[in-house]
Amino acid sequence: MNLYDIDVKDMQKQDVSLRDYEGKVLLIVNSATRCGLTPQYEGLQALYEKYHDRGFEILEFPCNQFLEQAPEDNEGIKSFCQMNYGITYPQFDKIEVNGEDAHPLFAHLKEVKPEDKENKETKGFLEKLKELNQERKGSDIKWNFTKFLVNRKGEVVERYSPTVTPKELEEAIENLL
C-alpha cells in the first residue's frame, strides 16, 4: 500500500485524499486535548509556521484511546486548539490508532515503522504508562503525540516517541525540505 492511496476525513467528515499532500514533507501525529503532552500543540504550530512555505504540512488526528484524553467532538477539539494554541494546520476527524478499529492510515504507518525513535524522557514515560496499566505491545501507538515523519515521496522515514518534542524534529525536517 502507498500512503497516498489512503483517504481520511477532515473535521467536517468530508473525504480527503492523502494524494492532496503528495510532494510535501509531512508530520502525521495523533493528538489529545487533555493530556500532559497537550502543550506540544504550541511546538507543532511553531513548526508549521516556520516550514509550511517550504512544502511542510502537519496532519493531526485526535484520538480518544488513551485514558479518554480527547473527549470533545471535532468542533470542540478545533475550538480548543485554535483558542489555546492558534492552530492553523490541518486537523482531521477523531480516529482510533490501535486495535481492530485502527484507521488504515495508522495501520499503515505502524506497519512501515513499528518502533519509536526515543529521547531521554522516553524511558521514564514508558515506566509511567506501566504504572497506569497502559503499557502497549509491539508496534502499537504508545500514547498521544506519536509522530511520523514522511518525505516528499510519501515514504515514512521516522516514527517518534510521544516525548520527542516538535523542536527536536527541526533538523530532520530541514534535511527533508
Known catalytic residues? 35
Helix 74-85 to helix 40-51 angle (10° resolution) is 80
Task: Give yes or no for a contact between 160 and 146, defined as CB atoms under 8 angstroms apart.
Answer: yes
d(CA 42, CA 86): 8
d(CA 145, CA 27): 11
d(CA 83, CA 105): 28
- Residue whose C-alpha cell reads 515506566 in the numeric block: 127
